[in-house]
Copies of this chain bind each other. A is one copy, B any other.
């Protein structure tokens, strides 16, 4: 049985993003409580800042905002929080952009396949078993055992493709 879940859809026109964010924050809180780890103020705030949009957010942009709120913030403040959030599955790093996106599904530990729109910058996350299975097979043909996959796909999202028409 295979699965093709879309974890973070592209923003539809006028989608209520406030809800995306609130939902993600709520899930994060529940997840942390269940795991006995602490979603401290800093971590929570960084997660909020990552979720401000569906575009990948840069560490130093997060830092700039933190510094507006609390001058004691420094690079380690942000990177530590991001490390925590990645470990707990609430944030993924987009390697090809040196930027971070929120994940709405921290309970099912995974790293998905990212679709990144060259026009609007929005990112969608798929978590597709067919892709995973095919790659495992192809790698296996070379005797390679997969630990982790970085799959970042650049292109044009549906909304932007429509607008171009």
Report how many copies the assembly holds.
Answer: 2
Chain B CB within 8 A of A145 CB: yes
Chain B CB within 8 A of A149 CB: yes
Cβ-defined contact, A131 with B138, below 8 A: yes
Beyond the given A124-B142, A148-B155, could you list 6 further A-B residue pairs with CB under 8 A, ordered by the A residue number? A4-B138, A10-B142, A95-B152, A118-B147, A126-B139, A147-B156
* Interchain CA distance A118-B131 in the complex, whole Å: 21
Residue-wise, chain A 139-155 has the 8 Å CB interface mask toward B (1 for contact) of 10111111111111111
Cβ-defined contact, B138 with A126, below 8 A: yes
Q: Give the interface residue-count category, chain A.
A: 35 or more
Residue of chain B at shortest CB distance from A4: B138
Q: Which of A115-165 contact B (CB under 8 A)?
A: 115, 117-118, 124, 126, 128, 130-131, 134-135, 138-139, 141-158, 161
Cβ-defined contact, B154 with A151, below 8 A: no
Q: What B residues does A157 contact at CB under 8 A? A: 142-144
* Interchain CA distance A156-B144 in the complex, whole Å: 6
* Interchain CA distance A141-B6 in the complex, whole Å: 10
A150: which of B148, B153, B161 is its contact (CB, 8 Å)? B153
* Interchain CA distance A145-B124 in the complex, whole Å: 13
Chain B CB within 8 A of A96 CB: yes
Cβ-defined contact, A151 with B148, below 8 A: no
Q: What B residues does A147 contact at CB under 8 A? A: 118, 154-156
